[in-house]
Chains A and B, each alone.
Chain A
Amino acid sequence: MLLLDNIILALNGVRANKMRSLLTMLGIIIGISSVIAIMTVGTSMTASMNETMSSFGANNITMGVSQKSSKKETMANGMRFEFGPRKQNLSDADYIYESMLDTLMEEYEDSLELCLLECSVGDAKAMDGELYANVDVKGVNDPMLEKEEDLTILAGRLFTETDQKEGRKVCLVSDYFCNNMFKGDTGKALGSEISVLIGDKYYYYTIVGVYEYDASGNFVSTSEEDTRTNLYLPLMTGFEYNHQDPRYSQVTLVTNSSVTDVDTFMKEIETFMNRRFYRNNESYEISCSSMSSFVEELTSTMSTMSMAISFIAGISLLVGGIGVMNIMLVSIQERTKEIGTRKALGATNASIRVQFIVEAMVLCFVGGIIGVVLGVLLGTILSQQMGYESSAPVEAIAFAVAFSMAIGVFFGYYPANKAAKMNPVDALRYE
């Protein structure tokens, strides 16, 4: 009862001295809001990353050819980049060939499930008289289509085994493409032959399926007409354009459930491939990366960043706490007579102490709440700017509110105790 009365009294006090209370709470507000903002960005980022990870598959390993270099730098995502101009392009001997993949799949048949292959043909323009659509032409194998691209077929079908084996001139196009070229009439699109200008030559493909274009994950927004969607070809058809044997600079391997530690397994494959096929290659080697290592790196970068910001926020909270203590000391000085009166009316030292601790706590609590609201707002705006679905860090919010109240107790205790120990006679006489 007494506690509730104290809380109401303290809230009235905050309301009566709005400006002073606000300035007092500023340190707490800044501290809490910065922590909550960064936490919001962090959880939003992690949530989207996890989603991405599960859609791309945590068990995927990207295996690619990369240049051997003394100045090699490992980036956060495990990909390797080098500084300075590339000395030479990949020569024929440097690529990953089907035979190598067969060897690898045989060697690790217990662990590897699928091999996702892609042959990038490049940007092209599909034409039909006046109408055209920009496309990115890709040759893909079936696992690639199913696992990685994750297409929703609106009409028609995916590629058949014969399409893939014989490299038939068929293709999958997006509903966007369909809108541009066939005015959205998918029935008309299916079975139509379209001409595609790749480089300076025309190629002709028959549409066998229309998929739903998924704009999410596309960071660059473009107008509807300019949107470049993928035009999928069977893998072999893609290579036909290149007039080459199937070869790859990068492939994606899917491990099965028997592999628990993807990163270790990844290194094993790397070593195997380099020993077997790249021992004598002076310029290139095989390097692998996985989604999980990418996410791990990102998470650790994120946590380092939040540690740094938390540290700054901690200092801000400390300063805020001292501000609260300062204002409490001033307030107690101002209200000396009130304290004396309360003591004359029968307040014990303990009840005076509780009154002022509650007051400091309420001040910090209100500051904490304002900080949380501002922080979530700021964090949401930031994470949306960065293109993530925002999600509020519930635990961090609970912790922040509790922590701000703890600051109130800690920094409120000394002034409250000072008030409690006042001599009633002196306090009453104070003017």
Chain B
Amino acid sequence: MSKGDVIIDARDIVKRYYIGQPNELEILHGINLTVREGEFVAIVGASGSGKSTLMNIVGVLDKPTEGEYILDDVDVMEARDDELSEIRNKKIGFVFQTYNLISRTSAVKNVELPMMYARVPGGKRKKRARELMELVEMEDRMHHTPDELSGGQKQRVAIARAMANDPALILADEPTGALDSKTGRRVMDIFHRLHEERGKTIVLITHSPELAEECERILTLSDGLFIGERKGSGHAPVR
């Protein structure tokens, strides 16, 4: 795959709820989204604009009612349940606002989890998990449980977990939403590093214009349609 290949190719995405019922609701009205490899894209929008619905569809957690969606050469519309699981496992790395670490297991086990589902052998899994923990500068807290970590630390573990199977796309949903500005900054710096040093494709969903400004391309979503597209700086603000 050469630089510039299309990772996300979504056309005419429509999402409706309560289909056939009197309260039928159309959230997305025909979204077109193309993201190329190595891009750092922000999707901004106020709450209720359809951000979460779009993220669920892009993240293959949900299927659109209508439209076409090719993710890294795989046709999502045609995939069965198990195939969707595999797509999520291998092609997407999720970073959630609320971290979503499994609370009873250690940080490093959380990072191993996607590799476990991908049936990566134990030794290789442990080695890779350690490398990723080093990448997010969490190697000294590998065996702590999430309860023993601060919010910023948890989110760094979550980013390491998202990187576990070296996915084609990192999908971050308000990754700094629950963090103070200082720790939020540190998390954003990691994203920039992944983008610049490793060439990762990142889609960041946020309602914060400042964060969006750090990305290369900013898409504005309003009432289920993209209403604007502009270029961003593509790197962290210089202080």
Contact = CB atoms under 8 A, between A and B. Distances in A.
Interface of A: 1-2, 5, 9, 12-13, 16, 337-338, 340-351, 424-425, 428
Contacts of A425: 56, 61-62
B85 A348 contact: yes
A341 B85 contact: no
B47 to A, nearest CB: 14
Contact of B90 (A340, A346, A348, A350): A346
10 A-B pairs with the lowest CB-CB distances in the bound complex, closest first: A346-B89, A341-B100, A348-B85, A346-B117, A424-B61, A345-B114, A346-B88, A425-B62, A344-B94, A425-B56
A42 B27 CA distance: 70
B116 A1 contact: yes
Contacts of A350: 82
A375 to B, nearest CB: 31
Contacts of A5: 116
B74 to A, nearest CB: 14
A63 to B, nearest CB: 72
A370 to B, nearest CB: 22
A341 to B, nearest CB: 4
A343 B117 CA distance: 10
A293 B186 CA distance: 86
B84 to A, nearest CB: 9
A9 B103 CA distance: 11
A82 B120 CA distance: 79
A5 B112 CA distance: 11
A341 B118 CA distance: 15
Given A1-B122, A424-B61, A425-B56, A345 B117 contact: yes
Task: Classify the interface of chain A: helix, strand, loop or mixed.
Answer: helix
Interface in B95-150: 96, 100-105, 113-114, 116-119, 121-122
Contacts of A9: 104-105
B82 A1 contact: no
A13 to B, nearest CB: 6
21 contacts: A1-B121, A1-B122, A2-B116, A2-B117, A12-B104, A13-B104, A16-B104, A341-B101, A341-B102, A343-B61, A346-B86, A346-B118, A347-B89, A347-B117, A348-B82, A349-B82, A350-B82, A351-B117, A425-B56, A425-B62, A428-B96
B59 interface: yes
Interface of B: 56, 59, 61-62, 81-82, 85-86, 88-90, 94, 96, 100-105, 113-114, 116-119, 121-122, 161, 165
A343 B88 contact: yes
A214 B217 CA distance: 98
B88 A338 contact: no
Given A1-B122, A9-B105, A12-B105, A348 B117 contact: yes
A338 B110 CA distance: 11
A336 to B, nearest CB: 12
Given A346-B89, A347-B85, A1 B119 contact: yes
Contacts of A348: 81-82, 85-86, 117
B88 A345 contact: yes
A344 B61 contact: yes
A353 to B, nearest CB: 12
Residue among A342, A344, A346, A349 with the highest chain B CB neighbour number at 10 A: A346
A16 B121 CA distance: 28
A13 B103 CA distance: 11
Contacts of B85: 343, 346-349
Contact of B100 (A12, A337, A347, A351): A337
A275 B104 CA distance: 83
B83 to A, nearest CB: 10
Nearest to A15: B104
A374 B86 CA distance: 46
A361 to B, nearest CB: 18
A250 to B, nearest CB: 72
Nearest to A1: B122
A428 B100 contact: yes
Contacts of A338: 102-103
B105 A344 contact: no
Given A5-B116, A349-B81, A342 B102 contact: yes
Contacts of B62: 424-425
Contacts of A349: 81-82, 85
A428 B61 contact: yes
Contacts of A16: 104
Contacts of B89: 345-347
A351 B103 CA distance: 19
B99 to A, nearest CB: 9
A72 to B, nearest CB: 70
Contacts of B102: 338, 341-342
A342 B103 CA distance: 12
A340 to B, nearest CB: 8
Contacts of B118: 346
A321 to B, nearest CB: 24
Contact of B114 (A337, A346, A424): A346
Contact of A345 (B94, B105, B119, B121): B94
Contacts of A428: 61, 96, 100
Given A344-B88, A348-B117, 6 more contacts: A1-B119, A5-B116, A342-B102, A345-B88, A345-B113, A351-B117
A344 B119 CA distance: 16
A343 B62 CA distance: 12
A338 B113 CA distance: 12
Contacts of B119: 1-2
A355 to B, nearest CB: 11
Contact of A342 (B82, B90, B113, B122): B113
B91 to A, nearest CB: 9
Nearest to B56: A425
